[in-house]
Chains A and B, each alone.
Chain A
Amino acid sequence: MRQVGRKGKLVLKDGSVYRGTLYGKRNAVGEVVFTTGMSGYQETLTDPSFCDQIVVMTYPLVGNYGINPEFNQGRRCFFQGYVISELCDHPSNWKNEQSLEDFLDEQDVPVLVGVDTRAITRKLRNYGVLQGVIVSEEMPQEEVDKLLALPEVHDQVAKVTTPEIYTMGEGKYHVAVMDYGIKQNILNYLASFGCRLTVFPAFTDAQEVLASQPDGIFLSNGPGDPKDLTTVIEEVKKFIGKRPIFGICLGHQLMALANGCDTYKMKFGHRGINHPVKDLLEHKVMITSQNHGYAVDEKSLEGKNIEITNISLNDHTIEGVRYLDHPTFTVQYHPEASPGPGGHEYLFERFIKMMGGR
């Protein structure tokens, strides 16, 4: 059933205001980012990497095919808020089990509807990502300012990582999975390639992880600034050279930091499912799913025995590296897709091969 919306607004730190109809009980305060995927809103909503962000969908029609638990990528939605143009109230698809509106209500995610999302996107593109709040229309400016002045939130990984160790899959290769906010489809992929997974909370000691006798270690995606994770980086350092390692997204950044490289915050990041990435080893361009606001600094690789294996065709930022001194390779983009295009199985195969060679 459709709730009664109220007048609401998204206010950005630079003072710009975008009005719409607000559904939801609470305010939202967070970094405002946009994503350009035209399908896959549910996978995006449940991707833990978006933790604490206010997400703007550039595609105007959202919720068309409803919600089905099988598409969830995390145990819940970690968004601060959601900003869209049109919320579909009559979804249609054979997999539809719940309307997006009900899902958002259930997840307690405020959503601002009927907004000129393209205008926000243009703003973010030109100014870079900004702090913002979603509040009801009548909230006075002083209160809005107070919310905007709140310190930026950190340590999102602690919120999204698994509270307990668990296992998944059966197979020849035992993989220790470091969960910094892992997407379900990464686990599914690894399992489908014959991996037996032990999933560890993000802050588990390296010793404990290695003690589980894994054939390989996987460093997952996750939210936030990688440099926040100083203790995690220290633990990652201890993995180096011990086992074959494959990292995705945050895992890629953490490994770089652990090897003495640097990361930086991008202007507005890469979020969408149409990003071209050149694989310099295979001489191929892949269309990839991406969701990151930080990147590994190319200059910081200088003098290190690290090879850039993948670059973004859009802005030439690093999308993947391999470490020549130890059996490790990482990618910035999301080969597990969900949402987005597939065709990246070869990376998982590469990881399997590395474990088989041990």
Chain B
Amino acid sequence: MPKLQNVKKVLVIGSGPIIIGQAAEFDYSGTQACRALKEEGLEVVLVNSNPATIMTDVHIADRVYVEPVNVEFLESVIKRERPDAMLATLGGQVGLNLAIDLDKQGILREYNVKLLGTQIESIKRAEDRELFKETMEKINQPIPESTIVETVSAAKEFAREVGFPLIVRPAYTLGGTGGGIAENMDELDDIVSKGLLYSLIGQALIERSVAGWKEIEYEVLRDADDNCITVCSMENLDPVGVHTGDSVVAAPAQTLSDHEVQMLRQASIDIVRELGVRGACNVQLALDPNSYRYYVIEVNPRVSRSSALASKATGYPIAKVASKIAVGYTLDEIQNAVTKKTTACFEPSLDYVVLKFPRWPFDKFVTADRTLGTQMKATGEVMAIERTLEASLLKAVRSLEIGLIHLEMPELKALSDEEVHDRIHLIDDQRLFVIAEAFRRGVTIDEVHEITMIDKWFLQKIMNIVNMEKRIKSEPMTEDLMRAAKKMGFADVVIAGYIGKTWQEVREMRKGWGIIPTYKMVDTCAAEFEAATPYYYSTYAEEDEVEVSDKKKVAVLGSGPIRIGQGVEFDYCSVHSVWALKELGYETIIINNNPETVSTDFDTSDRLYFEPLTIEDVLNILDKEKPEGVIVQFGGQTAINLAGPLEKAGIKILGSSVESIDRAEDRERFDELLTSCNIPRPKGHTVFDTEGALKAAADVGYPVMVRPSYVLGGRAMEIVYNDDELKYYMTNAVKASHEHPVLVDHYLQGTEVEVDAICDGTDVLIPGIMEHIERAGVHSGDSIAVYPPRTLSESVIKTIIDYTNRISIGLEVHGMINIQYIVRNNEVFVIEVNPRSSRTVPFLSKVTTIQMVDVATKCAMGHGIREQGFRPGLQLFPDYYAVKAPVFSFNKMSNVDITLGPEMKSTGEVMAIDYQYSRALYKACIAAGINVPHEGSILITVADMDKEEACEIAAGFADLGYEITATGGTAEYLQSHGVKVRVATKVSEGSPNILDEIKEGHISMVINTTNHGRDAERDGFKIRRSTVEHAIACLTSLDTARELQHVMSAMRRRRVVSIVALQDLAWEG
């Protein structure tokens, strides 16, 4: 029983959708928290709007509310559930901010809800800059000279006093939104004005910049008895100036003497004690590389991205322990889950080096500013474990899945020495690759250090890698050299490239010499105590301590780092697959490298291998473990891409075969399949060059959808309307070749429908059908999806069932299949088939109450759908509606166009559920952070071809009492069709114009589509970006606008807040 008496029911706040700065780490921490609380016999009530999470599974919490995470909805949940306590420090900044709001509005007091763990006073003292400053001054902890401003002029005044560079940090924001380093008055003006807007309390901290100093972090845990431990120290390779979420980070700290380590550790503990934290806390410090001077730069009194990293780096389950502390345990009363003998009150000792490398979305946002600063830009990260820094770094690079297998970027080869030298100055995502390239060109460590301030110790490691490359290239390959290269982390395929062999030949060569990896355990204690944790990493050492069992077993490949197009939903699938396999009595093995996830928790699978997901790294594990086979269909494209090579290496792929995957992904073979099944698809061709593309377009007719084959998340996918645009695309957007063909399809406008089905080879189970609000052309991941469908006729539904059956059986799918259809004039076309788990599976599983991954996994293992107790075919539609809406992180990415198109841009998703369709959609909008205005002026500026549609929408909004603002042609058109319009000045017509109106807050929402042609888009681009900067809703699809107008109309006289627990749906469904 919990130590705290009178606590029986606890409300846990989740962090909501995945956005830049708040990713999967809170699914990991939230899940651990819920479990830790349930272990204590507490009833757990969870609120989280993100369906793609394990924590929102009905068996993780007793009452799961997938509802918007805001004060109104939380109050409603509190009112219904009457929890006696609340845990807010495991749901990221969202949870923390909500706790403060709930407290401020008296809701906690009114319903007598006790806050568990760290208390409001402590949170405020860590979060409020002025209080924080006072607190630090009280205990003599140095913080950089600073001031808090609420106006730009105050910021300038401070700058005149202390000079530049200055760092700007808005208070109460996510991931440092709106912050930056200002070198002069103009930059200060710009950064402060934005920052004040993003701050929930309109405040920003301006402080002296310590850019270039070492950035060190400590993860601290403190209990109510004032016991305090640090779990881990971490050192950023990138000196202060780059957001820690965008920094490459090593654990433990590498370049600090014990004196420095202890000085900063003690500072962290003193701070946590003074704040009175009860639970986890992250402390970030800047250390002068040339003295013992340091500054405290940030404190987060909650679990964070860094604590997830520290947990996975050490094996110490911070979120779990923090939860136990919250219910009253002291550290020495909590068992060390790893050793099972010692307690949680100790500090982990590592006997390996951990490296975290961020995963940035610049492959998707090619126009985005790649510069790294105080604004975090990464969507995810990978972690690597090895016994040298070099090997850790190379493992991390291999794990990133950015098309690189080594610290070597082919496009840098083309640069001149001077260009390479110049690029060292750029602080961007490629910096380490540029440094390696510079070393190859003879630039010295001293020079690079002078420019980057990166510690020479780290630079030397990069130099060691470059020197090893030279040795491999110039010396004859011997056993000793091979061993040295493998110890340093070089991949077989890299060595192969240098010595003119294939990776298979290198693999055979080294195996002949007995050079195979050994596996070591992550055990929190550097082997001092026996541990039972099945958490392993590879290293080229003497002893392999991992004993292989003779049980029947299966390996599940994970999905790697969180990126746009492959998010936490695939981790959800991997975890469920493991659970299903365990149920079938298999020993389960997970291979993954993402520290933020539930799949990489040591108690998810029977064995966790924390490794890159490359053919070499995976084969090494399979060589050792010899499982019956590998499941690839739940790890997104990462795992699917390994299916072919694994099969070639003699590994059995469980579930749908490589042949099935290939038949779905290979254009010609897919066409054959559809033809044989008599299923129509938009006409299209595979082309290898521009000429072929033009010919294909002429045949299928414009507009055409173009994309490279084998893509996820619609990378480089576009709709083009004429030859010129097509030529531009073929020369600029893709590198077409025979290995990498481009698909040219006729673009069919119609309703997009998505189906996730499960097939056992004979029968097909269709849990549900989803209809998209946005017409085809907007990437399915960026569309709002509605379940069950609302506009499909019975004949269309019948056709969809029929096609789904035929394709699934035709492809011989064993497991999951995702099919996307377009419905146009009651005709159904297939546009895409993926014989694997899709992004919508967690959503659909939750709203249909069918655990799809479990069923699919069992199908893959030979258990039929009927055997599992399901009736094949489309399942009954429920009485409620569920809406999945995308969530974007545009405010973190300057210079990125927010217009929706075939290229996926969202970073996360939310779900809302209600018996009223309109309310479900409205709640989804709220949860997604779309700032839906209830009054004010709506700016409508649309492309010529959209004017007719826009007119109807404008009239609808006008009827609801909104003012309609429009410019130029749109205004004229609307007026001539009887819509009352306020005419505003276009951007190109001089100022003050529409941008000024947005800036001054006269516009509460924007509906914008643009004419095609790149030049015409500039005005639209500026308008759209300014909506992001000023946090107002901007709809770039008329479908969304129309639906929203209907919803606003339907909700006008209805209450908005209405909640439902998933457990209640299960009863009624």
Contacts and interface: CB of A to CB of B under 8 A. Distances in A.
Interface of A: 18-19, 34, 36-40, 42-43, 58-61, 64-65, 68, 71, 85-86, 88, 90-95, 115-119, 121-122, 125-126, 272-276, 278, 283-285, 287, 313-314, 337-343
B332 A313 contact: yes
B234 interface: no
Contact of A60 (B341, B353, B455, B456): B353
Interface stretch (B539-547, B686-694, B837-845, B902-910): B539-547
A71 B347 contact: no
Given A61-B388, A313-B342, A341 B262 contact: yes
B1045 interface: no
A64 B255 contact: yes
Contacts of B227: 284-285
28 contacts: A19-B542, A39-B257, A58-B351, A60-B388, A61-B388, A65-B255, A71-B259, A85-B387, A86-B388, A92-B255, A92-B457, A93-B255, A93-B256, A94-B289, A115-B542, A118-B541, A118-B545, A119-B541, A121-B351, A273-B347, A274-B346, A274-B347, A274-B348, A287-B346, A313-B345, A337-B262, A341-B265, A341-B266
B526 A284 contact: no
Given A36-B526, A285-B345, A64 B457 contact: yes
A119 B257 contact: no
Contact of B343 (A40, A126, A276): A276
B535 to A, nearest CB: 14
B457 A284 contact: no
Interface of B: 225-227, 229-230, 252-259, 261-262, 265-266, 269, 289-291, 330-332, 341-343, 345-353, 387-389, 455-457, 460, 518, 520, 525-530, 541-543, 545
A115 B387 CA distance: 11
B520 A118 contact: yes
A36 B258 contact: no
Contacts of A34: 528
B543 A59 contact: no
A83 B345 CA distance: 29
Contacts of B353: 60-61
Contact of A343 (B269, B331, B543): B269
Contacts of B342: 276, 313-314
Contacts of A274: 346-349
A59 B526 contact: yes
B258 to A, nearest CB: 3
Contact of A276 (B230, B341, B345, B457): B345
Given A59-B350, A65-B257, A92-B460, 13 more contacts: A19-B542, A39-B253, A61-B254, A65-B255, A86-B387, A90-B456, A116-B542, A118-B351, A118-B541, A118-B545, A285-B331, A287-B347, A341-B347
Given A60-B352, A118-B351, A39 B256 contact: yes
Nearest to A86: B388
A58 B525 CA distance: 10
Given A64-B255, A71-B259, A314-B342, A38 B350 contact: yes
Contact of B460 (A58, A59, A85, A90): A90
Contacts of B528: 34, 36, 58, 121, 125, 272
Contacts of B349: 36-38, 58-59, 272, 274
Contacts of A59: 252, 349-351, 526
A341 B331 CA distance: 18
Contacts of A340: 258, 262
A27 to B, nearest CB: 22
Contacts of B525: 36
B280 to A, nearest CB: 16
Nearest to B459: A92
A15 to B, nearest CB: 15
A208 B913 CA distance: 86
Max count, chain B CB within 10 A of own CB: residue among A90, A115, A273, A275: A90
Nearest to A117: B351
A39 B527 contact: no
B257 A93 contact: yes
Contacts of B341: 314
A125 B530 contact: yes
A58 B254 contact: no
Nearest to B257: A65
Contacts of A342: 262, 266
B707 to A, nearest CB: 46
A342 B456 CA distance: 29
A24 to B, nearest CB: 21
A287 B262 contact: no
B526 A92 contact: no
Given A36-B525, A61-B388, A340-B258, A119 B346 contact: no
B387 A60 contact: yes
A292 to B, nearest CB: 14
A283 B225 CA distance: 8
Contacts of B352: 60
A95 B348 CA distance: 27
A116 B543 contact: yes
A33 to B, nearest CB: 12
A283 to B, nearest CB: 7
A314 B339 CA distance: 10
Nearest to B254: A64
Contact of B527 (A18, A58, A276): A58
A284 B345 CA distance: 11
A21 to B, nearest CB: 11
B258 A339 contact: yes
Nearest to A18: B542
B64 to A, nearest CB: 36
A59 B542 CA distance: 16
A65 B256 contact: yes
Contacts of B347: 273-274, 276, 287, 341
A275 B332 contact: no
A313 B346 contact: yes
A51 to B, nearest CB: 20
A101 B347 CA distance: 29
B257 A91 contact: no
B257 A71 contact: yes
Nearest to B291: A94
Contacts of A18: 542
A37 B332 CA distance: 21
Instruction: Count chain A CB atoms within 10 A of each CB in B255, B265, B388, B527 and give the residue with the most.
Output: B527
A345 to B, nearest CB: 11
A337 B252 CA distance: 19
Contacts of B529: 125, 314
A61 B266 contact: no
Contacts of B388: 60-61, 86
Nearest to A286: B227
A164 B532 CA distance: 51
A40 B262 CA distance: 10
A93 B460 CA distance: 13
Contacts of A58: 349, 351, 526-528
A349 B350 CA distance: 33
B258 A43 contact: yes
B220 to A, nearest CB: 11
A284 B389 CA distance: 37
Contacts of B261: 39-40
Given A38-B252, A58-B527, A65-B255, A92 B456 contact: yes
B457 to A, nearest CB: 4
Contacts of A94: 289-291
**Which residue among B252, B525, B545 has the maximum number of chain A CB atoms within 10 Å of its CB?**
B525
B215 to A, nearest CB: 16
Contacts of B343: 276, 313
B229 to A, nearest CB: 6
Nearest to A343: B266
B959 to A, nearest CB: 67
- Which 4 pairs of residues, A with B, have the shortest CB-CB distance? A40-B258, A119-B543, A116-B542, A92-B457
Contacts of B460: 90, 92
A311 to B, nearest CB: 10
